Structure 1
Amino acid sequence: MENVDKRVAGSLTRFYVVALMVVAFLTLGGLFLIRKTIMSLNYDGRVVNVAGRQRMLSQRLTKLSILSIESIPHADSASFDSLLHVWKESHQQLASRRLKIGTEVVTWKSRPLDEMFKRLDPVFEQIYESFLVIGNPKSPLSEKQIVLKLILEKEPVFLANMNEIVFQFDKESYARLKNLETIEWIMDIMTILVLLAEGLLIFRPVVNTTKRAIRLVTESERALAESNKKLESSNNELVKTQKDIVRIEAEKYELQLAEDRIRAAALIEGQEEERKRFARELHDGIGQMLTGLKLHAEKLMQVPFEDEKQRLRFEQLVKLIQDIIQTTRQISYNLMPSVLGDFGLSAALKLLCEQTSDSTGMQVSFEGTTERITMPQPMEIGLYRIAQEALNNAVKHAEASHIVIQLIRRESKIILVVQDDGKGFIIGNLKDQKHSFLSQNGIENIRTRTELLNGDLEIESELNGGTRLIIKLKLN
């Protein structure tokens, strides 16, 4: 036993040396992190300066564009092309997260900044292309005036986005600084705790405690031998426990499936609410603004133009605005058709068939009751989305000439049927068919929505014999 005590004492001494090495490691690690963060903060300041310079360059280029088009004398001797090149190059470096500063290249990782630059890129490209037109001496004055109007329209958007980017750079830099402060506090506390552990627990108290523990271990070996005999007689209890564990795991799996189903229902409900909100904003916001823009443009049509080309271009502009209004209305309708809430599912499906037939040239017809069927709103929306998904996939992939949507009420059941005379497929090979519209996400979306509505989905199909989807729901 005495030899064992000596070995334990030697082990504790080695542990004490290791603890000292941990303290040294924490100290050196803290210095390394502080130095690295300071260098990072230095680079952050330069990145913020470049991002801020982008706003100044944008305003300066806009000013030079106005002065150039209006032929106003100015004292700005900077080259327009040179400023435009610096503006373009700096934007590309910021967007690609590789900013060249002197002989070094600064890189960083930030998902929010990537999203901001992704939203900013279309606006930047429009302004940049417009600046290229203005900087081209061969461009006619009328075209320069048009692109200048676009620049003045898009520049506030660009400046606002750049402000957000600059603030995000500054926010992330401040976050790294706070992170450094937190790490420093943690390392200081860990160092203090290690030193306290060495003084209070490791040196003498632990040695004495370990000596007593070794004696207790020797005594416990005898108790362990007796316990082993008792364990041999408890095998039956262990088997029973294992069965209980299997049962609990099965119940846990069922609960997880139920949670997944509830989560999917909540996700779909959230998507529908977001679609409804977005459709309303498109119709009441952008749609109204575009209508006002069209009215102003039509009033301007009454003003005499200098030449026929200007008049034709303005007519094209009015037509383009009308097309945008129509497209906006169509998108708003597809997101959440108003006829669904006003007149019910039958009217919405009939209108969906008519619109699809007009837009694709296919023969798409609706069959079923024309009277409104009273049902819960989630069921109404879910059936419409199922029909919409099946119809879109049939149009894209089934190569059909005739598609029929049927809505049938049979006692306490609602039956939705989507049938086409397309190329069809073999049901057994559903997962292996790469070009079948049912082998992609379409069937999964339809199946998920059907399950969430507590319904049944049936698929009937054969090669060159068309496909038929049948969804049956109980109407509570």
Structure 2
Amino acid sequence: MKNLANEKEIVAIIFYTSGFFIIMAVILVLFFYFSRKKIIQKELEKKDLEIQYQKELLSAVIITQEEERKRIAQDLHDDISSKLNIVSLNSHLLSTPNLTNNEVIEITNTIINLTSKALDNSRKIAHGLLPPVLDKFGLHAGVEELCLDFSSSKAVKVNYENKTTFDIMDNDKHLHVFRILQELMNNSLRHGKASVISIVFEKKDTKDWCFYTDDGIGFEIKNHNNQKGLGMKNIESRVAFLKGEMVLETSINKGVSVVFNF
């Protein structure tokens, strides 16, 4: 009887021990299942956010391109086209009979002047699309000229320093850097009312870095409209295209600081 009782006790211990381990195993399986499910869900949410961000950047690029096309079309229509129309009218006037020498000279001078202005303006439009200095001599020369253009307006002083070298073979990518600085400087002048702008290029950890600051009025960075305006979206999309990172710091009456790599 005693042996039978011992056997039953051993069986009971084995049964409860097995039951305990089975329950623990089930709990562990469920824990890992739901943990994995939660991880997968977070990964999917992260991918959805990345996709949404990419869509926003793509949308910003498309909108920027359309705005640029409209601006170019407007410039061509309002300036070049109107001047060429007047040139055409004056050219037909030269075939008018009984013109005096003074009239011929006056019409000819008008044609020459308008043609010269149309050529100058067409060069400006072409310069806006692809700055010749950047195309021929690289990013450093392009930014140097950009800074001189802004400084020559006397509205703002631009301090520029370059501590690295740029490969002219990367001009396609560097054009985006040029456009970023162009956008930042326009914002500093038009919206920030800045009087001093500073631009510094440095090489760190195999990457080129740009440090941009101004002494303007700044803006409230928490304001969604300020962060997601067309200009900022354009800048963000270009930095993303360059596979870089950007940090923007600003506050009211504290100017703007932008650091990005490429």
CA apart distance, 1:400: 1.8
CA contact (8 A) 2:203 2:209 kept: yes
* Alignment match, 2:22: none
Kindly tell me: are residues 441 and 268 of structure 1, through their superposed partners in 2, closer, same or farther at Cα, counting changes over 3 Å? Answer: closer
CA gap 1:423/1:327 in 2 versus in 1, 3 angstroms:
same
Aligned to 2:122: 328
Q: 2:60, 2:234 within 8 Å by CA — same for their partners in 1?
A: no
Alpha-carbon distance in structure 2 between the residues aligned to 1:267 and 1:441: 7
Q: Is the 8 A contact 1:305 1:311 kept in 2?
A: no
- C-alpha deviation, 1:387, in angstroms: 0.8
Does 1:461 find its partner at 2:253?
no
Q: Provide Cα deviations, 1:24-71, integer angstroms capped at 9, x if missing partner.
A: xxxxxxxxxxxxxxxxxxxxxxxxxxxxxxxxxxxxxxxxxxxxxxxx
TM-score computed with the length of structure 2 as normaliser: 0.60
Q: CA deviation at 1:332?
A: 1.6
Counterpart pick for 1:448 among 234, 237, 245: 237
- The one-letter amino acid paired with 2:137 is F
Instruction: Decide whether aligned partners of structure 1 residues 243 and 335 sit closer, same or farther in structure 2, where only a CA change above 3 A counts.
Output: same
Q: Does the Cα contact within 8 Å between 1:424 and 1:465 map onto a contact in 2?
A: yes
> 2:217–2:253: 8 Å Cα contact kept in structure 1?
yes
Q: Which residue of 1 aligns with 2:138?
A: 344
| 1:368–1:406 CA contact under 8 A, matched in 2 | yes
Bigger-Rg structure (1/2) = 1
Equivalent runs, 1:403-422 vs 2, <5 Å:
403-410=197-204, 412-422=206-216
Partner of 2:45: 253
Q: 1:365 to 1:377 in 2, by over 3 A?
A: same
Question: Following superposition of structure 1 onto structure 2, how do residues 284-323 of structure 1 map, counting pairs within 5 Å?
Answer: 306=100, 311-312=105-106, 315-323=109-117
Q: Number of aligned pairs?
A: 219
Which of the numbers 150, 153, 158 marks the counterpart of 1:364? 158
Name the structure, 1 or 2, with higher relative contact order (CA <8 Å, separation 6+).
Answer: 2
Alignment of 1:370-381 (within 5 A): 371-373=165-167, 376-377=170-171, 379-381=173-175
After superposition, give the CA deviation of every residue in 1:107-150 in whole Å (9 maximum; x if it has no partner).
Answer: xxxxxxxxxxxxxxxxxxxxxxxxxxxxxxxxxxxxxxxxxxxx
Alignment RMSD:
4.7
- The structure-2 alpha-carbon separation of the partners of 1:308 and 1:375, relative to structure 1 and needing over 3 Å to count, comes to closer
- What amino acid sits opposite 1:253 in the alignment? E
- Residues of 2 paired with 1:244 and 1:468: CA distance? 41
Partner of 1:388: 182
Which of 202, 210, 221 is residue 430 of structure 1 equivalent to? 221
CA distance in 2, matches of 1:377, 1:418: 20
The structure-2 alpha-carbon separation of the partners of 1:456 and 1:327, relative to structure 1 and needing over 3 Å to count, comes to: same
Residue 177 of structure 2 aligns to which amino acid in structure 1? L
Q: Quote the offset at 1:311 in angstroms.
A: 4.9
1:43-192 map, 5 Å:
none
Q: Is the 8 A contact 1:346 1:369 kept in 2?
A: no
CA contact (8 A) 2:138 2:171 kept: no
Query: Aligned letter for 1:421?
Result: D
Residues in 1 aligned to 2:47 and 2:146: alpha-carbon distance in whole angstroms: 38
Classify the secondary structure of the residue corresponding to 2:243: coil
Q: Could you tell me which amino acid in structure 1 is paired with residue 180 of structure 2?
A: I
Partner-residue secondary structure (3-state), 2:261: strand
Aligned partners of 1:469 and 1:391: how far apart in 2?
A: 11
CA distance in 2, matches of 1:250, 1:456: 23
Q: CA deviation at 1:327?
A: 2.0
**1:252 Cα deviation after fit:** 2.9
Equivalence for 1:53? none
Q: 2 CA distance for matches of 1:310 and 1:340?
A: 43
Unaligned segments of structure 2, at least 5 residues: 1-27
CA displacement at 1:333 relative to structure 2: 1.7
Q: TM-score, normalised by structure 1?
A: 0.36
